[in-house]
Chain A
Amino acid sequence: MPDMIEALGGAAPVCSHLPWPRRIVDAETWSELAGHLAEGRWTLAGLWGDIGAVHMALLDARQGELAVATLECPAGQFPSIARHHAPAQRLERTVSDLFGLKAVDAPDDRNWLDHGRWLVRHPLGACSTAAGDGEPYAFLAAEGEGLHQIAVGPVHAGIIEPGHFRFTANGETIVRLEERLGYVHKGIESLMAGAPLERTARLAARTSGDSTVAYSIAYARAVEAALGLEIPARAHWLRALMAELERVANHLGDIGAVCNDAAFALMHAHTGVLRERVLRQSNASFGHRLMMDKVIPGGVAGDLDRPGIDGIRSLVATIRETFPRLIALYDNTASLQDRTVGTGTLTHALALQYGCGGYAGRASGRSFDVRRDFAYPPYDTLQFDVPLFQEGDVNARLWVRIREVEQSLGLIDQILDGIPSGETSVAVARAGEPREGVALVEGFRGDILCWLRLDPAGDVERCHLRDPSWFQWPLLEATIEGNIVADFPLCNKSFNCSYSGHDL
């Protein structure tokens, strides 16, 4: 197998790109890379636009390597990756929406995030004004006798994020599901362009509120990589502690929520109590329930004191005592298992092809965890397992999360035992020249990619955040096929993709 960097060839960019290389390739190599992706040699980790160029992040999970390929497109177009490798489809459509760069021969050239409701076109590229009265959207056809369509959303009956789902069903059996997202587009990338580090840090933390710590870490690590900044060891450990607390809180909440969607509210009530305890302890220890803005470039804001540590220890003890009983409740409730086992099966092949991260991938046998495969401190010195299941159904995704809660509790123990003392942050100095940085961080949903370029003044020139949901949303469509309409909420909740992180 050719080494990734060798395969890229090409020229290095003018500014330094750390910690993994970026190469400027020609159109021929670009298309070859699409072939490599299609053959499953590497995983597509991201595809995003820039002024007059497109970047593509490639991942070699086995070697623990990442590389960014850049294709300059002076003519405003680039050879489509999606033509050979389907996971790139929505990413290419987004590049077209935001930058006006067209993927040539793309299998799908409809708009994605831009619904024609914005007052601008191509906000990040050649920006022009638009009427903003909306455009019709052609949903993919499904033809056959007795088929009917069910349109769900974007406004739902519950308090959840907006997204439109178009089902084509034969009675109760789903023949096709097509998602339409982009309703919560906030223009994060536009807002970040040209903004100082403090402001961009706040924006990054608000990309997807439930993963705010993971996003902040990804952003901070990218800045630190770009500037070659070494942060104190204590800061690394505190970040990991917050990340694990966030993971535990989200997993606990969602384990209950999946059961609740099968009308088993008892589980939801009990996990809700546990989740609330985690949030309150986070507030007590770090000063914010979700620990928003506590991770900053250069370290962490604030420190953990003795009562904060003791509080977390007693929290871990409480969860250890209560959680096994809840697992037993799940395991012993046959009516619940009847709903989750065998429902919404994601195949191993699809999980691999899409580079599906997080519990969704690990429930379908894709063993990948950034904390292990791209171990960043302090995970390189901590002991933990990456739970793996093969079944790929709702039950497997739930079990991955149950096991991950247990692993995270172990990690929290290790962090509290081994946390070094010292400073928690260092000052961020400007580099005086353009710099680029990239970071890959494991959020509770999966791997979050952050890529950015800093200008000489130290401001962010361009920043791209790729949510794990980009590679999970399309799989939900595939997973639901052949299931019944009434099982969709259960499958959807078991994926629990982010709308906000995806819509940017």
Chain B
Amino acid sequence: MGLIDGISIQLSQMALVLALSPLLTGLVRKLKARLLLRQGPPLLQPYRDLIRLARKEAVVAESASWLFRIIPYIVFATTWVAAALVPTFATGLLFSWSADLIAIIALLGSARFFLALAGMDVGTSFGGIGSSREAMIATLAEPALIMIVFTLALIAGSTQLSNVAGFMLSTGVGLRVSLGMALIALIIVAIAENGRIPVDNPATHLELTMVHEAMVLEYSGRHLALIEFSSSLKLLLYTALIACVFVPWGLAPAGAPLHVHLIGVVIFAAKLGVAGLMLAVFETMIAKMRVFRVADFLGAAFMLGFLGTLLRFVSRSL
């Protein structure tokens, strides 16, 4: 595969995640609204919101430090890079060979670290509450995610997502208990990481119950636009991650002709649609859990990931 191909695939991947992520957010909102007997905002509303926010003046609290101003850029950059590493429509990503799943976790972890700092920077009580809750959720979600990565890596023999996807596409995989466990665990972690119900409610107006929204309460204008964009990117990233590992069909292999890549894009869009629908239905069906129950919820993900890893040592076929 030529370098030009690699670069162009990588660039189109980066553009694609940017272009599609607000649409996924809009889709979930629209579907949820329809399920709740409401008309809902147009699918393209998140794009309009981002443009509107980007045009607005950014009001920064007097007590905010320089960190507060640069964090939206850091968060956006790290999330975007992480999203660029997950194969969406093709496996032949140029960056993919320089960074694996562990790097993605690290990138997202640092984005969260900075966001939590920003929450505390201004010194309002809500920011502090949000940051402390986010830190609690993160300390539970990250070990679970690492366990899931171990399970996958032991099965596929690699932490490179392209390799994992390639292995999953091969015929020798079959049905494995540990893979099922990893899938459920990954979904739980994805829900927690993206602040969806039942862990957090992205649509709430209740300051006291917020997690993610409480941290970013002080942001406005272009800063807020970047943070909202990062949230959308993160949702897309996790969807792409689950799709690439567990339903890798349709991914264009390295060196495939152009039309295969185009089909890959269409299939990816379809996967996003299905994921959005499942998320909307799931969120409609359950209530948010008590803050301290999140530990049980994520504990289950950790245990599943851990069991999945252990099973690999018991039997090669599980």
Contacts and interface: CB of A to CB of B under 8 A. Distances in A.
Interface of A: 148-152, 156-158, 171-172, 259, 261-266, 268-270, 273, 333, 335-336, 338-339, 484-489
Contact of B293 (A259, A263, A338): A338
A172 B198 contact: no
Contacts, number: 81
Given A273-B37, A486-B209, A489-B208, A266 B284 contact: yes
Nearest to A343: B290
Given A148-B125, A172-B292, A338 B37 contact: no
A259 B205 contact: no
A262 B197 CA distance: 10
Nearest to A171: B132
Contact of B125 (A151, A158, A263, A484): A151
Given A150-B125, A486-B290, A486-B291, A263 B37 contact: no
B177 interface: no
Contacts of A339: 287-290
B175 interface: no
Given A148-B125, A157-B207, A261-B206, A484 B35 contact: no
A172 B291 CA distance: 9
A261 B206 CA distance: 8
A263 B129 contact: no
A269 B37 contact: yes
6 contacts: A150-B125, A158-B206, A263-B198, A266-B285, A335-B289, A338-B290
A265 B208 contact: no
Contact of A156 (B198, B207, B290): B207
Contacts of B197: 263
Contacts of B316: none
A409 to B, nearest CB: 22
A267 to B, nearest CB: 9
A130 to B, nearest CB: 31
A126 B31 CA distance: 61
A264 B287 contact: yes
A353 to B, nearest CB: 28
A297 B260 CA distance: 79
Contact of A262 (B35, B128, B288, B292): B288
B292 A336 contact: no
A484 B208 CA distance: 10
Contacts of A149: 125
B315 interface: no
Looking at B32, B129, B287, which has the most chain A CB atoms within 10 Å of its CB?
Answer: B287
B259 interface: no
B288 A263 contact: yes
B3 interface: no
A333 B125 contact: no
B205 A157 contact: yes
B44 to A, nearest CB: 22
Nearest to A485: B208
Contacts of A266: 35-36, 284-285
Nearest to B291: A486
A489 B210 CA distance: 11
Interface of B: 32, 35-38, 125-126, 128-129, 132, 197-198, 201, 203-209, 284-293
Contacts of A485: 129, 208
Contacts of A172: 291-292
Looking at B38, B197, B286, which has the most chain A CB atoms within 10 Å of its CB?
Answer: B286
A158 B209 CA distance: 13
B287 A259 contact: yes
Given A262-B287, A339-B288, 19 more contacts: A149-B125, A152-B208, A156-B205, A261-B209, A263-B197, A263-B204, A265-B36, A266-B36, A268-B36, A333-B285, A335-B198, A336-B286, A338-B293, A339-B290, A484-B290, A485-B129, A486-B208, A486-B291, A487-B290
Looking at A172, A263, A273, A487, which has the most chain B CB atoms within 10 Å of its CB?
Answer: A263
B208 A335 contact: no
A226 B293 CA distance: 57
A333 B197 CA distance: 14
B205 to A, nearest CB: 4
B208 A333 contact: no
Looking at B205, B207, B208, which has the most chain A CB atoms within 10 Å of its CB?
Answer: B208
A264 B205 contact: no
Nearest to A159: B205
- Among all A-B residue pairs, the 5 with the closest Cβ atoms: A263-B288, A158-B205, A264-B287, A269-B36, A336-B287
Contacts of B207: 152, 156-157
B284 to A, nearest CB: 5
A263 B287 contact: yes
A151 B208 CA distance: 10
B132 to A, nearest CB: 8
Contacts of B35: 266
Contacts of A158: 205-206
Contacts of A270: 37
Nearest to A339: B287
Contacts of B290: 338-339, 484, 486-487
A191 B127 CA distance: 42
Contacts of B32: 265
Contact of A335 (B204, B286, B291): B286
Nearest to A333: B287
Contacts of A489: 206, 208-209
B288 to A, nearest CB: 4
A496 to B, nearest CB: 14
B103 to A, nearest CB: 33
A303 to B, nearest CB: 35
Contacts of A333: 285-287
A48 B206 CA distance: 35
B219 to A, nearest CB: 14
A74 B287 CA distance: 58
A175 B148 CA distance: 39
Looking at B198, B203, B206, B288, which has the most chain A CB atoms within 10 Å of its CB?
Answer: B206
Nearest to B207: A157
A493 to B, nearest CB: 9
Nearest to B132: A171
Looking at A150, A151, A157, A265, which has the most chain B CB atoms within 10 Å of its CB?
Answer: A265
B284 A265 contact: yes
Contacts of B203: 265
A356 B97 CA distance: 68
B287 A338 contact: yes
Contacts of A262: 287-288
B286 to A, nearest CB: 4
A265 B36 CA distance: 7
Nearest to B198: A335
Nearest to B125: A150
Contacts of A148: 125, 128
A273 B125 CA distance: 36
A265 B208 CA distance: 18
A338 B287 CA distance: 9
A158 B201 CA distance: 14
Contacts of A484: 290-292
Contact of B286 (A152, A261, A264): A264
Nearest to A157: B205
Contacts of B36: 265-266, 268-269
A341 to B, nearest CB: 11
Nearest to B211: A486
Contacts of B293: 338
